[in-house]
Amino acid sequence: MTSADYLQLGLYAAVLTAGVKPLGWYMARVYQGRAPGLEPVLGPAERLVYRAAGVDRSAEMTWQRYAAAVLGLSLVSVLAVYAVQRLQGVLPLNPAGQPAVSPDSAFNTAVSFASNTNWQGYGGEATMSYLTQMAALTVQNFVSAGVGMAVLVALIRGFARANSPTIGNFWVDLTRGTLYILLPLSVVFALVLASQGVVQTFEPYREVQLLEPTEQTTDGVTTPVTTQTVAVGPAASQVAIKQLGTNGGGFFNANSAHPLENPTPLSNFLQCLAILLIPAGLCWTFGELVDDRRQGWALYAAMAVIFAVMLGVCVWAEARGNPAVAAVPGVEQPAGNTEGKETRFGVANTALWAVATTAASNGSVNGMHDSFTPLGGLVPMWLMQLGEVVFGGVGSGLYGMIVFAVVAVFLAGLMVGRTPEYLGKKVGAFEVKMASLAVLIPCGMVLLATAAGVMFEDGRKGVLNSGPHGFSEILYAASSASNNNGSAFAGLSANTPFYNGLLGLCMLVGRFGVMIPVVALAGSLAARNKVPAGPGTLPTHTPLFVGMLVSVVVVVGALSFFPALALGPIVEQIAAANPAAGG
Amino acid sequence: MFAELRRAVVVLALLTVLTGGLYPLVVTVIARAAFPRQAAGSIIERDGQAVGSDLIGQPFSKPEYFWGRASGTSPVPYNAAASSGTNLGPTNPDLTKAVAERVDALRKADPDLGPVPVDLVTASGSGLDPHISPAAAAVQVRRVARARGLSEDRVRELVARHTEGRQLGILGEPRVNVLRLNLDLDALKGEGRTP
């Protein structure tokens, strides 16, 4: 690593941390019913939504009703995104004349965007019309993120309230989060991105002259190629929310490696910052809403520790380069492992992005993870397998981490033989059951889907790279879908009925298999009374607890996935280091 | 449940109008007014004709042009309508084979070539990378100068003019825009010989 690398990574950490308090404070106000500065502008839109939908904003919901509303909205979202894709051929704003998306791919993409996964089996510029990108995909970038934040806020209310049968109103939480947090940030961010060169237009694809004409040979017929078709479109508006809402679905196939989606080092810095901005800020929001800011910092610290270690490993592995390429005569490798990486970002920024995008459940990429060194590729894979709780998705990351905190106080309680409590709430059998479900369901889904991918011929034939790396491609896809991340070892040909179906199922189970237990947890906690902290209470804002929490997250992740990782990236790393041994 | 479904339909419809219609529209209008060139794709025009984009690389294989990164797009390299990396894994023999072939091609065009910087012989993530590292440009100066009958210093001067440093002095990597550089080489009319 060079000093310039250290400087960039340090700057990133500093700016991110500086944003935690102001943004977290603002978001807490939004969910408390105020929106400083923005109410005059967006208030009418908010009231319009409530009036049209018949929402009484003061009417509170039980956890069952809250969950029903979440599921209802998600179901309608899946149907809407599916319909727009299937009909895009006859709908307007389709200058490239994209035909209807195939049923299996449309299903996969609909589930993918409605579940905040944004796994992409398709290539954006070659598949989707401008209308689909905007009215289906961009909308879900907002809505699915708004849902995640709403569920988080409901869970926080569970801790903050006492003896309450209700946990808030989902429609109000969703609408306020979308209007007052996601939308204004996106408008500003989209314009900054446009200033850097992210394309934003409704014009059709541009045809430009090639300076050096070339030729194309297909089936033995050689035809001259004198022009280049440059795909354009309304990208900046989509990319802004794709980063802020931890969605990650690229406008173009190459995602944020594409120069028209991420043109400059500054756009890269800001996009990478946007991945973690809201998830980090929500830690402060949490502390603010439970009226103990130290609790928020404790969770932030636990996330930051895991993040920093993973980042160090990934940058180190990629900067060292690829031994196989170094062995090619006449190549010098000062820039590290550059395969699949863009010159303007370099290795450090690409590794940073890979860690940020998989720590959060974003899933966008600015380089190709499939071409990372085995160890460098293990890092993003394992971060997803940890359950997307290291910052995680907007809302979903923090509620996942709070679930782990519940597990951690439970384990601590077992050690000393006391009834565990967290934030003044006794953690009983129901809470531990719900927390366990939320932790174990995605783990189980990753392993089951990987097994299915390896066992079936349709799964194996999607693999691009042979040997352990091929296994890694399947394991990565299952991890990504089941934890609602969306990034890929993109060599895997996943746009097949087999993978569209399997991974679609993973995304549904990974999203709602966690979310519903969390809403139930919120309801059960809200109904409990508050117990004052006694001398035997484990304080949950101390370095000791942060250490425990980190250990629980890491141990669950390691125990669940070490055998699978050993078959993929670990054996490949060993083979790569010893080419003579048959690597 | 049914009441919530009805609300879901209405809320989604309204949020679609707002975030899927108004939002991209407003951003487009402001971006076009404030940054017209960037919003349209940073297209380069010469004599009224679009000859490329600042941000999208083009394929080069003639000795008189600087060559860019390898490209994994299909069916042709630098297909800007279907961006893609190669996705070759680090231990895949196809990767080392492709790297060796690119080194050979560079050697063939300049037999005295020294060690080749790795970015020049590996494929970018997008397959459309418009840049190479300054080191990757430096090793090509002799070949381009010979092919064009220019002095190496003259070519080096042009490379320097197209080298961008780290943005704001900190961010990213130093880099050379290959298409811009080649366009300016072609514009050196009356210097050297026409290749």
Distance CA(A140)–CA(B16), nearest Å, equals 9
Is the distance from CB of A360 to CB of A391 less than 8 angstroms?
yes
Distance CA(B124)–CA(B173), nearest Å, equals 14
Mean pLDDT (chain A) is 95
Write down the pLDDT at residue A580: 53
CB-based burial of residue A212 (10 Å sphere; 0-12 exposed, 13-18 middle, 19+ buried)? middle
Find the mean pLDDT for residues A219-226. Answer: 91
Indicate the DSSP class of residue B22: I
Quote the minimal CA–CA distance from A71 to chain B in Å: 9
Distance CA(B50)–CA(B66), nearest Å, equals 20
Distance CA(B175)–CA(B61), nearest Å, equals 20
Write down the pLDDT at residue A582: 44
Which residue of chain B comes nearest to A12, CA vs CA?
B171
Is the distance from CB of B108 to CB of A326 less than 8 angstroms?
no
Span A25-59, pLDDT tens digits:
999 999 999 988 899 999 999 999 999 999 999 99
Q: Which H or E run includes B116?
A: strand B116-117
Kindly state the tokens that stand for A552.
């629980």
Say if strands A331-332 and B116-117 run parallel, antiparallel, or are unpaired: parallel
> What ipTM was assigned to the predicted interfaces of this complex?
0.96
With bands split at pLDDT 50, 70 and 90, how would you rate the model's confidence at A334? Answer: confident
Find the mean pLDDT for residues A546-555. Answer: 96
With bands split at pLDDT 50, 70 and 90, how would you rate the model's confidence at A316? Answer: very high
* A227, β-bridge pairs: A209
Span A64-111, pLDDT tens digits:
999 999 999 999 999 999 999 999 999 999 999 999 999 999 999 999
Find the mean pLDDT for residues A457-466. Answer: 95
Backbone angles phi, psi at A367, to 5 degrees: -165, 170
Residue A83 near chain B (CB below 8 Å): no
Indicate the DSSP class of residue B185: H
Span A160-203, pLDDT tens digits:
999 999 999 999 999 999 999 999 999 999 999 999 999 999 99
Distance CA(A475)–CA(A352), nearest Å, equals 22
Distance CA(A503)–CA(A111), nearest Å, equals 9
Task: Collect all residues with Cβ–Cβ distance below 8 Å to A451 and sequence separation of at least 6.
Answer: none
How far apart, in Å, are the Cα atoms of B129 and each of A45, A209, A348, B106?
Answer: 42, 17, 17, 19
**Residue B79 pLDDT > 80:** yes
Domain spans in chain B, listed from the N-terminal domain onward? 1-40, 43-187
Residue B143 near chain A (CB below 8 Å): no
Question: CA A44 from chain center: how many Å?
Answer: 31
Other beta carbons within 10 angstroms of residue A6's beta carbon come to 12
Q: Do B85 and A371 lie within an 8 Å CB cutoff?
A: yes
Distance CA(A328)–CA(B99), nearest Å, equals 7
Q: Do A241 and B135 lie within an 8 Å CB cutoff?
A: no
Span B162-184, pLDDT tens digits:
999 999 999 999 999 999 999 99
Span A376-423, pLDDT tens digits:
999 999 999 999 999 999 999 999 999 999 999 999 999 888 889 999
Span A90-99, pLDDT tens digits:
999 999 999 9
Other beta carbons within 10 angstroms of residue B193's beta carbon come to 9
Q: Which H or E run includes A218?
A: strand A206-218
Contacts of A218 in chain B (CB under 8 A): 75
Kindly state the tokens that stand for A52.
């049209």
Q: Do B118 and A194 lie within an 8 Å CB cutoff?
A: no
Distance CA(B126)–CA(A28), nearest Å, equals 39
Span A343-381, pLDDT tens digits:
999 999 999 999 999 999 999 999 999 999 999 999 999
Which one of A12, A255, A333, A371 makes the best mutation probe of the B interface by having the most chain B beta carbons within 10 Å? A371
**Residue A581 pLDDT > 70:** no
CA dihedral sign of residues B99, B102, B107, B110: negative
Where helices occur in A322-428 by DSSP H, the ranges are: 323-326, 346-359, 374-385, 396-416
Write down the pLDDT at residue A240: 98
Q: Which H or E run includes A224?
A: strand A221-230
Write down the pLDDT at residue B115: 95
How far apart, in Å, are the Cα atoms of A33 and each of A73, A180, B23?
Answer: 22, 11, 23
Which of B35, B69, B121 is the closest to A195 by Cβ?
B35
pTM of the model: 0.96
